[in-house]
Amino acid sequence: MSASADSADFDVVIAGFGPAGATLACLLGAQGIRTLVIDRLTGIYDKPRAFAMDHEVMRVFQDIGLAQAIEPHVAPFSASEHYGVDGQLIRRLTMIDPPYPLGWTPSMVFRQPPLEAALREKVRATPGVTVSLGEELVTFTQDAGRVTLTLQREGATRTVTARYLVGCDGASSTVRRTLGVEHEDLGFDEPWLVVDVGVNAQGAAKCPKTSAQFCEPSRPTTFLIGVGEHRRWEIMLLPGETPPEIETDAAVWKLLARWLTPQDGTLWRRASYRFHALLARSWREGRVFLAGDAAHQQPPFLGQGMCQGIRDVANLAWKLAAVLQGRAGDGLLDTYGAERSSHVRRLTTTIEHIGRNICERDPARARARDAGLIAQAGGSVKSVPRQDLIPPLDCGLLAPGAHSANGTLFPQPRVRAGGRSVLLDDVAGHGLRLMIGADADAGPVAALESVKRCGAQVVQVGGKGWPEEDGIVAAWLARHGAIAALVRPDHYVYGVASSLDEIDALATSYDASCRTQALARSAAVVKLSA
């Protein structure tokens, strides 16, 4: 839907139409939430910035019906081999073996411009979503009931109102600055040059056959294999080097001379960055939220930048919809910042640790690093799946207790439906679901008043339900000693149960938790208003 001059009141306004903002618009629009998306720019940046994504993000794109459109622009992420001071292998990151637990290749690379184009097309086709490009947020105020925003286009201003505002407006976020929210510096700040090259056949033959980290004190460098002819180098700048001098054609080709000559491909993009590790000190101020780069920045060494933003909006979207539709209290929204801030902090700490190893410039310490990593691996470097480095949720809207399943992603198997092999979410949906295995009886489970009250759809995999092809769910339930799992709309497990009584208690706990959140937030709002 294009921008409407007749509408000035919305449920949600999203500032920023990048991947996170566009995904949030799709998720909200699909639930009937009246949404306005604004962006001061009118077009899509025609060069790659984000490079990698994972199966959790692809599952979110599946949720909004986008997976098929972007599959041509996606490829598996090659293994990433880390080489030490003397060229020896010191670490190898790869992906888990099939069958894949979420239904998609666990680690992927992608072309950002066509992915963003497909996202924007999907947003425009979503009822209830208004898109206004070339319009920027000037300022906003809020009270207990709504947010009032002043928007500007070509010198002309207008005012719109919304129940909530979400800032997906990037690292220099106007929303964050207006709120006065500061960053917490997690202690990583290094200058790097990012170079994207479209290689020809001759150039492709010269490049390494897997992605690589050259952890060499003389000049730490990352090499990445993208989709098709796309290759990326991330090159650490040395003391005294400045972006203007290092970004010239001559300087870039000199840096790439170890691998390529100008006859081997075309320079597509070169840009200098400071790789930061930053985290917003607050993700919510009243009716205003931060998401994506507006809330956090991390070094790129695991390719998690865009992934983190998509996780943010997948977490926030269903909670906003539940509150706006009267299915939960406003306090549920406080769990967004708690969950995502903790998750981002822990993952960024892991990325930062990898980055510090890569960036070591002292030869003696680098050799000690190499020896330590090899010793840690038992003397022989083994492949470590990238997914093993992604943490679960550890706080927020989770069942009481410390069960190992709580806060993890529930798997998505391939099942048989109408004689075809399909992904479970395509036939079972992705709202609040009570996933039960073959050993459970769906009738008594669905009849529980607690299940009806919390609004969970009962989905059976195996038994009399959807027959799965690879036993992924059956193995997952057995591993966690459960017959059922209560799964949130963002695919994270609220909790598990091993009997009908425990299912009843689980659903009751979920419903009570939402009500408690509502009461707690209401009291806070009353106190604030007083």
Residue 501's CATH number: 3.40.30
Cα dihedral 355→359→365→367 (10° resolution): 90
Mean pLDDT in residue range 502-508: 97
Q: Which of 47-51, 338-342, 519-523 is predicted with the least confidence, judged by mean pLDDT?
A: 519-523
419 and 505 fall within a common domain? yes
φ, ψ at 293 (rounded to 5°)? -65, -20
Mean pLDDT in residue range 394-414: 95
Cα dihedral 202→108→213→248 (10° resolution): 60
61 and 175 fall within a common domain? yes
Q: Residue 523 pLDDT more than 60?
A: no
Q: What is the pTM of this model?
A: 0.94
What is the C-alpha separation between 149 and 146, in angstroms, rounded?
10
- Residue 23: which of 52, 61, 51 has the closest Cα? 61
* Residue 38 within any structural domain of the chain: yes
Reported as a pLDDT band with limits 50, 70 and 90, residue 397 is very high
44 and 126 fall within a common domain? yes
What is the C-alpha separation between 28 and 293, in angstroms, rounded?
20
* Residue 81 within any structural domain of the chain: no
441 and 328 fall within a common domain? no
* Residue 379 within any structural domain of the chain: no
163 and 307 fall within a common domain? yes
What is the C-alpha separation between 301 and 350, in angstroms, rounded?
10
Q: Residue 274 pLDDT more than 90?
A: no
Q: Residue 13: its pLDDT value, please?
A: 98
CB neighbour list of residue 250: distance below 8 Å, 6 or more residues apart: none
% of residues, the chain, pLDDT over 90: 89
In this structure, are strands 156-167 and 9-15 parallel, antiparallel, or unpaired?
A: parallel
* Residue 407 within any structural domain of the chain: no
349 and 498 fall within a common domain? no
Q: Which of 324, 354, 384 is the last residue in one of the domains?
A: 354
Contact 306, 327 (CB under 8 A): no
- 359, two tokens: 């960036």
Q: Residue 249: its pLDDT value, please?
A: 96
Q: Residue 513: its pLDDT value, please?
A: 87
Handedness of CA 315, 318, 324, 327 (dihedral sign): negative
With H, G, I as helix, E, B as strand and everything else as coil, classify residue 183. Answer: strand
- 470, two tokens: 């690879």
Mean pLDDT in residue range 12-37: 98
Q: Residue 39 pLDDT more than 90?
A: yes
Reported as a pLDDT band with limits 50, 70 and 90, residue 172 is very high
What would the pLDDT profile of 197-227 be if each residue is shown by its tens digit? 999 999 999 999 999 999 999 999 999 999 9
b or e along 84-93 (b: 16 or more beta carbons within 10 Å of the residue's beta carbon)? bbeeebbbeb
Q: Residue 530: its pLDDT value, please?
A: 24
Q: Which residues pair with 486 in a beta bridge?
A: 434, 495
162 and 290 fall within a common domain? yes
Q: Residue 82 pLDDT more than 80?
A: yes
* Residue 374 within any structural domain of the chain: no
CB neighbour list of residue 499: distance below 8 Å, 6 or more residues apart: 483
Mean pLDDT in residue range 113-125: 97
With H, G, I as helix, E, B as strand and everything else as coil, classify residue 194. Answer: strand
Q: Which of 15-29, 103-117, 127-141, 371-385 is predicted with the least confidence, judged by mean pLDDT?
A: 371-385
Q: Residue 8: its pLDDT value, please?
A: 85
What is the C-alpha separation between 314 and 311, in angstroms, rounded?
5
Q: Residue 529 pLDDT more than 70?
A: no
CA-to-CA dists, residue 205 to 260, 264, 350, 507, angstroms: 10, 9, 33, 57
Q: Residue 525 pLDDT more than 50?
A: no
According to DSSP, residue 333 is labeled G
Contact 31, 127 (CB under 8 A): no
Please name the residue that has the structure tokens 């984000």.
Answer: 50
* Residue 464 within any structural domain of the chain: yes
392 φ/ψ sector (left φ>0, alpha ψ -120 to 50, else beta):
beta
How many domains would you assign to the chain? 2
Contact 326, 336 (CB under 8 A): no
Mean pLDDT in residue range 511-519: 70
Q: Residue 282 pLDDT more than 70?
A: yes
Reported as a pLDDT band with limits 50, 70 and 90, residue 7 is low
27 and 171 fall within a common domain? yes
Q: Residue 57: its pLDDT value, please?
A: 98
**β-sheet with 74-76: strand ranges across:** 52-54, 107-110, 74-76
Query: In residues, how long is the chain?
Result: 530
332 and 421 fall within a common domain? no
Q: What is the CATH number of the domain that holds 14?
A: 3.50.50.60
Q: Residue 188: its pLDDT value, please?
A: 86
293 and 437 fall within a common domain? no
Q: Residue 517: its pLDDT value, please?
A: 55
Side-chain half-sphere CA neighbours of 295 within 13 A: 33
Q: Residue 302 pLDDT more than 60?
A: yes
Q: Which of 303, 332, 354 is the last residue in one of the domains?
A: 354
According to DSSP, residue 264 is labeled G
What is the C-alpha separation between 481 and 475, in angstroms, rounded?
10
What is the C-alpha separation between 26 and 30, in angstroms, rounded?
6
* Residue 82 within any structural domain of the chain: no
Contact 473, 438 (CB under 8 A): no
CA-to-CA dists, residue 185 to 174, 190, 277, 298, 349, angstroms: 19, 13, 6, 10, 11
Mean pLDDT in residue range 238-257: 95
* Mean pLDDT, the chain, whole residue set: 93
350 and 418 fall within a common domain? no
Q: Which residues pair with 156 in a beta bridge?
A: 153
What is the C-alpha separation between 314 and 316, in angstroms, rounded?
6
Q: Cα 225 to chain center, whole Å? A: 21
Cα dihedral 317→320→324→329 (10° resolution): 140
Q: Which of 354, 373, 401 is the last residue in one of the domains?
A: 354
Q: Residue 519 pLDDT more than 90?
A: no
13 and 148 fall within a common domain? yes
* Residue 62 within any structural domain of the chain: yes
Contact 229, 198 (CB under 8 A): yes
Tell me which amino acid residue 290 is: L
Q: Residue 1 pLDDT more than 80?
A: no
Question: Residue 480 is part of which domain span?
Answer: 414-518
